[in-house]
């Protein structure tokens, strides 16, 4: 096909249940096959050999593999063909058969000899983005990535024109750094009418919300003003029943000491649809941000996350501190700054070594992040001397010293 200035005509092929022939089982086929299979195509692979990944697709029954070289007639009844061998003569022969049979054919070795081009594609929330920039695939991929990322994080305005289903999304915002919220969580925020936000949620994200979005402060500041859980539930229910899209933005993960299930149950009792969007828990991410792995080969084979919102001797405590003291792995304490001394004393009384390393990470992943190191024997005085305040994650165990 002679070079032309005419642009390619974009079209979306519906290949579900239709025969597609892929000639060649190398890395090009490995990259292209997943999209063809996701489209529901009935794929036949013609190749004497294939990469391990392509072979695994065949063994799983995702495609039919004819382990031989291409032969005239292989494109019979095909709707679409992909030629991806390293033999120019074979590629030309397949291309010629495709032309004769009027089968759209993509050639990995010679775009000008092809009758179809594969665009750089991506998907976001039911939208397929396909980009063609002639013979510059890197630019196509860059434009594709920019558009998809914009759709995912809400920076590219693409509001739904269809009626949205009212309901509540319980979104885990991660440990504090706004970049650590999930893509889905950020997208739901960009599409919300009402956001009910915790103090420990990624507050910087609220500045990005459009002016029409109503933000409700559900902050639970320790020993200060608090919005009762009942009031939070009522706010969620009221706005959802008014037909609004509501996001309950929480710090960390909604189901890790976030009372997310309580809210989900209350909403379900009211017949309100609930979407749960998991978040990155501070129990793992904050230690990792300062170079502390909660597990490490040869050091710790388990880690336990414990709420320290009540003291060990408090009758409301559900924690078996004696059992925890006997574990050899890592302990991660959340909401424990005010009780870290009592917790350390309890662990030592039940057998945990006094020189066990301890790290307190205050405001982890934020610009104000700081780390205070101690041992079980010294953590009380160190926390007081350094004026440590919530929010902070406390890590106890030998992993604390791994990164030093």
Among all residues, which ones are annotated catalytic? Answer: 198, 220
How is the beta sheet containing 214-217 ordered, strand by strand? 214-217, 194-197, 245-250, 167-172, 274-277
Asked if 280 and 177 touch (Cβ cutoff 8 Å), the reply is no
Q: Which long-range contacts (CB under 8 A, 24 or more apart) does 234-238 make?
A: 235/196, 236/168, 236/196, 236/263, 236/266, 236/267, 236/272, 237/266, 237/267, 237/270, 237/272
Regarding beta strands 167-172 and 245-250, do their DSSP bridges make them parallel or antiparallel, or are they unpaired?
A: parallel
Q: Where are the beta strands (DSSP E) in 243-398?
A: 245-250, 274-277, 303-307, 330-334, 357-362, 370-375, 392-396
Q: What are the tokens at 203?
A: 């507050």
Asked if 6 and 66 touch (Cβ cutoff 8 Å), the reply is no
Geometric angle at alpha carbon 175, from 305 and 126, rounded to 5°: 110
- Crossing angle for the helix pair 229-241 and 260-269, to the nearest 10 degrees: 40
Q: Which long-range contacts (CB under 8 A, 24 or more apart) does 5-12 make?
A: 7/132, 7/134, 8/117, 8/132, 10/119, 10/130, 10/132, 12/128, 12/130
């Amino acid at each position: 096909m002679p070079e032309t200035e005419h642009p390619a005509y974009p079209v979306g092929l519906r290949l579900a249940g239709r025969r597609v022939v892929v000639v060649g089982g190398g890395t090009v086929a490995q990259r292209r096959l997943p999209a063809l299979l996701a489209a529901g195509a009935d794929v036949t692979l013609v190749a004497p050999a294939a990469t391990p990944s392509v072979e695994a697709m065949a063994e799983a029954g995702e495609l039919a593999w004819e382990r031989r070289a291409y032969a005239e007639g292989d494109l019979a009844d095909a709707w679409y063909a992909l030629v991806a061998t390293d033999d120019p003569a074979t590629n030309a022969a397949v291309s010629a058969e495709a032309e004769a049979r009027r089968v759209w054919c993509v050639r990995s070795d010679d775009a000008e000899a092809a009758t179809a081009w594969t665009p750089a594609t991506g998907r976001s929330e039911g939208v397929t983005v396909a980009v063609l920039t002639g013979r510059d695939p890197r630019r196509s991929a860059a434009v594709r990535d920019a558009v998809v990322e914009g759709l995912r994080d809400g920076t590219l305005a693409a509001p739904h024109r269809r009626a949205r289903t009212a309901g509540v999304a319980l979104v885990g915002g991660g440990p504090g750094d706004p970049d650590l919220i999930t893509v889905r969580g950020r997208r739901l925020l960009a599409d919300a009418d009402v956001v009910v936000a915790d103090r420990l949620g990624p507050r910087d994200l609220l500045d990005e919300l459009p002016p029409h979005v109503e933000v409700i402060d559900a902050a639970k500041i320790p020993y200060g003003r608090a919005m009762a859980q009942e009031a939070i539930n009522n706010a969620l229910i009221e706005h959802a029943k008014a037909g609004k899209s509501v996001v309950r933005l929480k710090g960390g993960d909604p189901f890790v000491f976030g009372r997310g299930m309580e809210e989900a149950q209350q909403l379900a009792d009211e017949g309100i649809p609930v979407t749960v969007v998991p978040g990155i828990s501070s129990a793992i991410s904050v230690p990792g941000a300062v170079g502390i792995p909660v597990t490490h080969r040869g050091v710790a084979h388990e880690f336990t996350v414990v709420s320290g919102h009540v003291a060990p001797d408090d009758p409301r405590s559900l924690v078996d501190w004696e059992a925890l003291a006997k574990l050899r792995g890592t302990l991660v304490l959340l909401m424990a700054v005010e009780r870290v001394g009592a917790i350390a004393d309890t662990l030592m009384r039940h057998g945990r070594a006094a020189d066990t390393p301890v790290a307190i990470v205050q405001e982890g992943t934020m610009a104000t992040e700081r780390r205070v190191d101690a041992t079980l024997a010294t953590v009380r005085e160190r926390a007081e001397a350094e004026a440590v305040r919530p929010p902070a994650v406390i890590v106890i165990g030998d992993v604390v010293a791994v990164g030093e």
